[in-house]
Amino acid sequence: MILNDLIEIKNAELAGRKKITLRCCMAAGCLSCGAKGVKQQLDKAVADAGLQDQVEVRGVGCMKLCCEGPLVQADPQNSLYIKVTPENAPSIVAAIQGGQTSVAQTDPDAAFFKRQLFIVLANSGVVDPERIESYIAADGYQALHEVLNEMAPKNVVESMVQSGLRGRGGAGFPTGLKWGTVAKSPGAKKYVICNADEGDPGAFMDRSVLESDPHSVLEGMAIAAYAVGADQGFIYVRAEYPLAISRLQLAIKQAKQMGLLGAGIFESPFSFNVDLRIGAGAFVCGEETALMASVEGKRGTPRPRPPFPAESGLWGSPTLINNVETFANVPPIMRRGPEWFAGIGTEKSKGTKVFALAGKIKNTGLIEVPMGTPLSVIVQDMGGGAPDGGQIKAVQTGGPSGGCIPAEHLDTPVDYESLGKLGSIMGSGGMIVMDDQTNMVEIARFFMEFCMDESCGKCIPCRTGTVQMHHLLDKIIQRQATPADMARLEELCDMVKSTSLCGLGQTAPNPTLSTLRFFRHEYEQLLRPDLSGPPPNGASETRSASAAS
């Protein structure tokens, strides 16, 4: 494989495009609603109309507006059909011929789409994730060729530093700095790991990228491997993502067959192989040292740091770990330049961020917005606000490690520093919206139960502290707690946050602390001054946390 081969594949793919394209979402969400049958009937309807030479029915990845799936978009008509059934197929085919259709549509220029800026999701819903040629036609693997033939590894690292990209897995560590540390670390063997162990409740960003655009992650990993001096990569993905796994397996096979993975990539001295490791669903394995232990075949528990993985990681060798979204940012940065990326976002938070928008909101789905976008724009303009005439009460970011931001702070820009000031975090990108019917103490208990169940048990503060915090939260909800119990809860939050071994325990108190900070009155309303009498009359039922997710 040389550059001319890549160009020939791209030109052939573009030349073979037909006059009209019907893009049918074949991501997990739409497939669960019957998208496979929709595509089959679209193929049949096109054939029955004798339009095979004019119309292409293309299976694509996530088309973002998940609440309205299955989705079909007709190009160049720019018609977006929603809640499509197999029976709708003939009507859609008739419409692209100029006829009328009764199939429901939505405006592809609505705020949900127009407020987005696609970098990571640029190919999502556009390319066929099961055909490498479709990715190459979208300039795929051109960045890898340029890097291998025109740049030294240190220049690649410097480009990442200049871009200002920060790790999208949650901590926001500068990507270029991490790459530079691995590149400088001595070692005969080095590794690159893609952390696809997405475990936050309500989060589906990484899954969607892997299902929709797997080659962007492979290309990003290969560029990273060249920059740090690695020849072996692993993608650690949870078993609950079967479609992502199957498309990754196919993508790796296709890239190897074309010489874009393996030995002598683009006829250069650089070689790089990628293998999958399937996780069993332990939330703690999203922590990098626990993840590495699992890749090595050991029990997935964290270890103290230092040494950090960049110096001593997988099997004691220098190891670079980034998540799916971080690697997917790499090819466009290398194609368009670090200055372009650094010009998006805020002073300290560059680029865009992908979020899974879910909960009590009209428009749920996958969004990508520039860093610094106010929460109000995401929730009110793009999300459409609360359904059924409700009011937004809070937005929870960062999953079990994050915090609940009240409605009065919805003007907060989405960046690492601003969210941190409110006691929340960016996290990997889960964003759960809650309405005015949501009980915030229930929300705290829900996330504490999750952390309690997912604790690996290695350190006492997390193993026992989460249990005790959950017990106290449950006691408050049952109206059996006193002010002394709430004081004890706050003490435990501080202890677990300060003394736990890894990020799971250190951040487990965050939902409780943020709800105590902004919704303390809801806790106080449930407290009893003493335990001498029965609970107050007329105690209202509290909603379960699942109602808000």
Could you tell me the fold of the domain covering 16-108? Glutaredoxin (3.40.30)
Buried b / exposed e along 8-39 (16+ C-beta atoms within 10 A): ebbeebeeeeeebbbbbbbbbbbbebebbbbb
Say how far apart CA 18 and CA 56 lie, in whole Å.
6
The pLDDT confidence band at residue 530, using thresholds 50, 70 and 90, is: low
Over residues 113-140, the pLDDT tens digits come to: 999 999 999 999 999 999 999 999 999 9
Q: What percent of the chain has pLDDT over 90?
A: 91
Name the token pair of 374: 């106010």
* CATH class held by domain 140-341: alpha beta
* Closest of 398, 296, 416 to residue 347, by C-alpha: 416
Inter-CA distances, 203 with 40, 167, 284, 405, Å: 29, 17, 15, 17
For β-strands 352-359 and 430-435, DSSP reports them as parallel
Beta carbons of 299 and 268 less than 8 angstroms apart:
no
**Is residue 45 pLDDT above 90, yes or no?**
yes
Three-state DSSP string of 100-113: CCCCCEECCCCHHH
Q: What is the separation, in whole angstroms, between the first and last Cα of the chain?
A: 47
For β-strands 79-81 and 105-106, DSSP reports them as antiparallel
Say how far apart CA 519 and CA 317 lie, in whole Å.
46
**Is residue 5 pLDDT above 70, yes or no?**
yes
| Dihedrals phi, psi of 266, to nearest 5 degrees | 55, 40
Cα dihedral: 227, 228, 233, 234 (round 10): -110
User: Which pLDDT value is given to residue 263?
Assistant: 96
Q: Is 148 helix (H, G, I), strand (E, B) or coil?
A: helix
User: Which pLDDT value is given to residue 169?
Assistant: 86
User: Which pLDDT value is given to residue 544?
Assistant: 40
For β-strands 319-323 and 403-406, DSSP reports them as unpaired
User: Which pLDDT value is given to residue 531?
Assistant: 55
**Is residue 543 pLDDT above 50, yes or no?**
no
Over residues 243-297, the pLDDT tens digits come to: 999 999 999 999 999 999 999 999 999 999 999 999 998 999 999 999 999 999 9
Mean pLDDT of 408-430: 93
The pLDDT confidence band at residue 170, using thresholds 50, 70 and 90, is: confident
Query: Cα angle at 32 between 26 and 37, to 5 degrees?
Result: 60
CATH 1.20.1440.230 maps onto the chain at 440-548
Inter-CA distances, 313 with 63, 184, 218, 500, Å: 37, 14, 21, 21
Mean pLDDT of 405-429: 93
User: Which pLDDT value is given to residue 2?
Assistant: 84
CATH 3.40.50.11540 maps onto the chain at 140-341
User: Which pLDDT value is given to residue 545?
Assistant: 40
Mean pLDDT of 160-179: 94
pTM, rounded to two decimals: 0.94
The pLDDT confidence band at residue 427, using thresholds 50, 70 and 90, is: confident
Beta carbons of 129 and 213 less than 8 angstroms apart:
yes
Measured over the CA atoms of residue 99, residue 69, residue 426 and residue 402, the dihedral's sign is positive
Mean pLDDT of 348-356: 96
User: Which pLDDT value is given to residue 535?
Assistant: 55
CATH of region 352-435: 3.10.20.600
In eight-state DSSP terms, residue 61 is S
Mean pLDDT of 25-49: 97
CATH of region 440-548: 1.20.1440.230
**Is residue 225 pLDDT above 70, yes or no?**
yes
Say how far apart CA 351 and CA 344 lie, in whole Å.
5
Beta carbons of 221 and 274 less than 8 angstroms apart:
yes
The pLDDT confidence band at residue 529, using thresholds 50, 70 and 90, is: confident
CATH 3.40.30.10 maps onto the chain at 16-108
Say how far apart CA 447 and CA 399 lie, in whole Å.
8
Say how far apart CA 345 and CA 368 lie, in whole Å.
12
User: Which pLDDT value is given to residue 547?
Assistant: 39
Name the token pair of 478: 């049952």
Cβ-based neighbours of 468, under 8 Å, separated by 6 or more? 492
**Is residue 144 pLDDT above 80, yes or no?**
yes
CATH 3.10.20.600 maps onto the chain at 352-435
Over residues 287-329, the pLDDT tens digits come to: 999 999 999 999 999 999 999 999 999 999 999 999 999 999 9
Counting Cα atoms < 13 Å in the Cβ hemisphere of 535 gives 14
Say how far apart CA 514 and CA 423 lie, in whole Å.
6
- What mean pLDDT value characterizes the chain? 94
- Burial of residue 441 (number of CB atoms within 10 Å: 0-12, 13-18, 19+): buried
* Closest of 222, 199, 197, 200 to residue 210, by C-alpha: 197
Task: Kindly give the interhelix angle for 214-228 and 242-257, rounded to the nearest 10 degrees.
Answer: 60
Name the token pair of 89: 């197929």
Tokens 């240190």 sit on residue: 154
User: Which pLDDT value is given to residue 534?
Assistant: 52
* Closest of 511, 476, 477, 483 to residue 497, by C-alpha: 511
Mean pLDDT of 370-396: 96
Cβ-based neighbours of 518, under 8 Å, separated by 6 or more? 394, 404, 405, 406, 440
Over residues 85-96, the pLDDT tens digits come to: 999 999 999 999
Say how far apart CA 300 and CA 415 lie, in whole Å.
31
